[in-house]
Amino acid sequence: MSGGCEGHGVPFDDWDDRDGRGGWDDRGDPGDGDDRDGDGTGEETDDASGTGVLEAELRQAAAILDPVPAELRRIAVEAYALHDLDARLAELAFDSLQDASPVRGADDTPRMLTFRAGEVTVDVEVTEQGLIGQVLPPRPARIEVLGGPHAVAALTADDRGRFTGDTPPAGPFALRLRTGGEVIVTEWLRV
């Protein structure tokens, strides 16, 4: 039989009756006869197992229709490998690419970044020659420039919190600061 059910717009061809229990419930709506929750309505409630099945099906469909690119998966795995559970995250408070007014004719101006984690501020200037920065309040620190699963460069901040690096970061980067017993990691940015 082909066509639809009058008033409901449900084509008979699309009605799933594989288990022989399909039909109409007591409200006149098409039902599948599934009464897993045992309440007699023929409808499945949104319990943990039903949600889990739906989630698994949606993940499978997404993996087929819109798979995660291999490069993005690799970067995500590497970024997770770098996480430090004891580290505080220094959030980006200022980025001259987004927050500063553009200057006409100035294409090679350094990128200025400010990160904050509680009372600690990290100011960084990224140039074609490298990094220049300062930790505030001033304190000595060991700083790692992260550019993947491994540190790209190791820097040292002096007693005034100043540090420099001769190589500019290439691609996504973050800074990991170790000051005494405290570890601070900045947000990841792309230069």
Task: Note down pLDDT in tens along the chain; length 191 residues.
Answer: 444 444 444 444 444 444 554 544 444 445 444 555 455 555 555 555 678 899 999 999 998 999 989 988 887 887 776 666 678 899 999 999 888 666 665 567 899 999 999 999 999 999 999 999 999 999 999 999 988 767 789 999 999 999 999 988 888 899 999 988 889 999 989 87
Question: Could you identify the residue written with the tokens 């009605």?
Answer: 15
pLDDT of residue 132: 97
The CATH 2.60.40.760 portion of the chain extends over 81-102+109-190
pLDDT of residue 109: 84
pLDDT of residue 120: 94
pLDDT of residue 124: 97
**CA geometry: angle 127, 129, 133, nearest 5 deg:** 55
pLDDT of residue 191: 79
φ/ψ region of 98 (left if φ > 0, alpha if ψ in -120 to 50, else beta) reads: alpha
Domain 81-102+109-190: top CATH class: mainly beta
Measured CA to CA, the distance from residue 45 to residue 27 in angstroms comes to 16
Contacts of 190 (CB under 8 A, 6+ apart): 171, 172, 173
pLDDT of residue 38: 52
pLDDT of residue 49: 61
Q: Is 4 within 8 Å of 11 (Cβ atoms)? A: yes
pLDDT of residue 77: 80
- List C-alpha distances in Å: 40 to 43, 90, 156: 8, 55, 70
pLDDT of residue 140: 96
